[in-house]
Amino acid sequence: MTVLLMTPPMTQLNTPYPATAYLTGFLRSQGYEAVQRDPAIELFLEMMTAPALEIIRQHVEENFEHFEDDELPDVIRNFLAEFDRYHLTVESAIRFLQGKDPSLALRINSRRFLPEGPAFDAIAQMEAVSGDVLQAAFGNLGVQDKAKYLATLFINDLSNVITQGVDPYFEVSRYGEQLAAANPSFDNLYDTLMDEPSFSSEILEQLVEQYLEETQPSVVALTVPFPGNMLGALRIAQTCKAINPEIPIVIGGGFINTELRALKDPRVFEFIDFICLDDGERPFITLLEYFEGKREVDELVRTYFLAEDENGLPHVHFNENALLQDIPQTEVGAPIYDGLPLGEYLSLCEMLNPMHRIWSDGRWNKLTIAHGCYWRKCSFCDVSLDYIDRFDAAGADVLVDRIEALIEETGETGFHFVDEALPPKLLYTFAKRLIERNVVISWWGNIRFERTFSQARCQLLADSGCIAVSGGLEVASDRLLKLMKKGVSVERVAQVTKAFSDAGILVHAYLMYGFPTQTEQETIDSLEMVRQMMDQGCFQSAYWHRFVATIHSPIGINPEKFGITLAERPEILFAENDVDFTDPTGTDHEMLGEGLRKAIYNYMHGIGFDQPMNFWFEQPVTRTKMKKDLVSRAISNLIDSNEE
């Protein structure tokens, strides 16, 4: 039995999404022939060629033929005016971003080689505030990084041309996300699939035909990590069924696990045959055993399929079968990247910020230290679901063994640990093992900013190869941090982040606004605290997320405990996640959100720390009463405990 695993478009362009690599390694360890492909990166690369741009121009000209020049979107006008230059340089720019043509950097840096569309306006805007930002960021010798930044802006312009002029569902890291995310109805997705395929869909179909011809699979399995992968997954399934109606199609992944737990629409099964929830290994291996005749259908684990009800009508059936235990982390094995085009991914530089760029720059081997979250108490998190609630860790030696195997296979020593939160005790043991075994890697991952990360321990992590961490500061308000059961204080976060930064480890903070009962004053105070912390060098990068109540979080389950009222929801036939609610405080979070984003964007570029809070907002806001030296006082007493 041959299993073909695929990641639908779109995900990161710089490195493979790890789900298929993990499942490939696990299935091969169980004796199955597993192969994998990444149509996400291959679709993008097919669209970034000179012949593809010719077709894109034809679509753009047809779609805008009745528009006057001044009515055209800026990115479309620039594309048509500069088409010859785009056509000439696109393949060279892609090769450069793949690391295949480094000498091209000097031509790119001349600012006369690549055409410059609206994406390059960001440079002019920053230069209007702080002078020559490229010189400040890259100096005279940062030739490769400067060119990578300029080439990334070039790619962003072309991606926007496709989205605005050819295919409204195409985005570099998303693909029809609005059709799937928290959508109670399958209608929009279904209608899109029944409509004529778009330009990108036609390329995707050609890729899938090629994969099926190459691999001759018995089963096709698709991971759907995000809402923006669902349209691509269904397009792939649609193509597979058109070629071979008998081939079983299976889907699973993060979006499925989070949002399709109330699925009732049988039309989904016109494209796919089985949907597996939660950790993929046990449900999928059980399903393969069913295909082999080793199990009955009622033995499937956490799997949706189409059956008949008592009236003989199509009915979506879900088989829980909780008796079969999940595969322990010690037995899932190491990911295998065989079959993925590791040399084809693009290293991008999307922002002039050393921490923020690493999400899109570099080829990272992705691993998990543990399944689930060791804390699993935060009131905004999906703590009722398996991917958070069931904590299961592999040992440090097992992890280092897997790292050595991946280095041997890929030749890459960069690792991104994609855990919900790296468990501190295991992390320290892991760091010591790396040092003891002389394993040289660069690694980063997500943590909780808790007191155990002392100066000495942060230095240990740095010595083992830790280059960056990210974690949730969230609301930067002790009252709200307590309400969300975060288990940290603002002062503690300031101390821990400074300890990491002092050890030479870059820090990114996840920020949140619009939490239940959060007032305007608390939001502005949070921004002031963030300003102080970034000005003092506690962290280098951050991002404000608008709070969303989710149905599987404590807030979604018990909203009255948090002072909010959930809106009445429609009947759920497809996806369910975000839940609208009424907050009695009546704070204008939309107005605040734009100012928060503007401020943090400037802070990440080292700009605007001296501006008053009102500078960032179109409407006057309550003047913060927060003392200006809170962070300075907190980090003057950095912790250096030996407590476990």
pLDDT at 379 over 60: yes
Residue 178 has pLDDT above 80, yes or no: no
CA–CA distance, 59 with 70 (Å, rounded to integer): 19
Contact 144, 102 (CB under 8 A): yes
Range(s) of the chain covered by CATH 3.40.50.2300: 2-40+177-330
Buried b (16+ CB within 10 A) or exposed e, 224-250: bbbbbbbbbbbbbbbbbbeeeeebbbb
Q: Tell me: pLDDT of 6 over 50.
A: yes
What is the C-alpha to C-alpha distance for residues 200 and 229, in angstroms, rounded to an integer?
Answer: 14
Q: What is the C-alpha to C-alpha distance for residues 51 and 280, in angstroms, rounded to an integer?
A: 39
Are 42 and 30 in contact by the 8 Å Cβ rule? The answer is no
Q: What's the CA gap between 427 and 421, in Å, rounded?
A: 10
Measured distance CA(156)–CA(426) in Å, rounded: 40
pLDDT beyond 60 at 625: no
Structure-block tokens of residue 620: 């006057």
HSE of 12, CA atoms in CB hemisphere, 13 A: 20
Pick the range with the lowest mean pLDDT from 8-12, 134-138, 239-243.
8-12
3 state SS of 35: strand
How far is the C-alpha of 268 from the C-alpha of 234, rounded, in Å?
A: 9
pLDDT of residue 619: 80
Mean pLDDT of 378-406: 95
pLDDT attached to residue 636: 77
Find tokens 């503690």 and name the residue: 492
> What are the pLDDT digits (tens) for 327-355?
999 999 899 999 999 999 999 999 999 99
What single-letter DSSP state applies at residue 256? H
Contact 35, 20 (CB under 8 A): no
Q: What is the 8-class DSSP label of residue 420?
A: S
Q: Between residues 332 and 623, which one has the greater pLDDT?
A: 332
Lowest mean pLDDT among 475-484, 599-608, 635-644: 635-644
Task: Give the DSSP letter string of 275-325.
Answer: EE-SSSHHHHHHHHHHHTTSS-GGG-SSEEEEEE-TTS-EEEEEE--TTSP
Q: In angstroms, rounded to a whole number, what is the distance separating the alpha carbons of residues 98 and 168?
A: 26
Closest C-alpha among 254, 227, 550 to residue 380: 550
pLDDT at 641: 46
Confidence tier at 623 by pLDDT (50, 70, 90): low
- Write out the residue limits of the CATH 3.20.20.70 domain(s) in the chain: 364-635
Confidence tier at 175 by pLDDT (50, 70, 90): low
CATH architecture for residues 364-635: Alpha-Beta Barrel (3.20)
State mean pLDDT over 24-28: 96
- Helix residue ranges, H only, 110-182: 121-130, 133-138, 143-165, 177-180
Phi, psi of 94 (to 5 degrees): -65, -45
Cis peptide before 533 (omega within 30 of 0): no
Q: CA 322, CA 301: separation in Å to the nearest integer?
A: 7
At residue 445, does pLDDT exceed 60? yes
Phi, psi of 441 (to 5 degrees): -140, 165
Per-residue pLDDT tens over the stretch 47-102? 999 999 999 999 999 999 999 998 999 999 999 999 999 999 999 999 999 999 99
CB atoms under 10 Å from CB of 297, counted, come to 12
The tens digit of pLDDT for each residue in 574-613 reads: 999 999 999 999 999 998 999 999 999 999 999 999 999 9
SS3 state at 564: coil
Residue 534 has a pLDDT of: 96
CATH superfamily of 2-40+177-330: Response regulator (3.40.50.2300)
Residue 386 reports pLDDT greater than 90: yes
Per cent of the chain over pLDDT 70 is 97
Model pLDDT for residues 305-325, shown as the tens digit of each residue: 999 888 888 899 999 987 788
pLDDT of residue 400: 97
Q: Tokens 């890729």 belong to which residue?
A: 207
